[in-house]
Amino acid sequence: MSNPGEQQWPGERLGLPESGPRSIARPGRRLGAIVVDWAIAYGLSVAFFPIAPWQTDGFVTLGLFAAIQVLFLIVVNGSIGHLVFGMRVVPLVPGKLGVLRPILRTLLVCLFVPAVIWDADQRGLHDRAAGTLLVRV
């Protein structure tokens, strides 16, 4: 049994449901999405910027990853991986995601460490800094 002030599921204190639409996206979906997004960036990098067969500069791949993330977050509120796994990035406060939130969020994801440090709501530091939530559709 939990303490009275303790939340029962990630996102409860933010007013989000335990499961289903608008619930916090869980780690499995997030991992799947990042694998899809990185594979796309790597494929584009190998196809257009190879340094040897099946080899590319890691910074080129990272740059393509970031560009794709920002573009898709601004246009459809989710990366290709997010869309494949049924997730969207939404602002914590009602309104539009805008341009600055996707840029800040993506820059922090590219640093990796902010994306793997989570709070009790399973929000990474990148989402906290950008004022966003990754939720299920």
Q: Are 110 and 62 in contact (CB under 8 A)?
A: yes
Q: Are 24 and 11 in contact (CB under 8 A)?
A: yes
* Alpha-helix residue ranges (DSSP H) falling in the chain: 27-48, 58-76, 80-84, 100-110, 113-116, 125-130
CA dist 21 → 18, 94, 130 (Å): 9, 16, 21
Residue listed under structure tokens 């009602």: 94
Give the pLDDT confidence score for residue 3 in this predicted structure.
65
* Mean pLDDT over the full length of the chain: 94
For the stretch 90-130, pLDDT in tens is: 999 999 999 999 999 999 999 998 899 999 999 999 999 99
Mean pLDDT within 28-33: 96
- Phi/psi at 136 (nearest 5 deg)? -75, 150
Q: Is 95 helix (H, G, I), strand (E, B) or coil?
A: coil
Each domain of the chain, given as residue ranges in start order, spans 21-136
Q: In the predicted model, is pLDDT for residue 2 greater than 60?
A: no
For the stretch 66-78, pLDDT in tens is: 999 999 999 999 9
d(CA 10, CA 69): 24
Q: Are 15 and 22 in contact (CB under 8 A)?
A: no
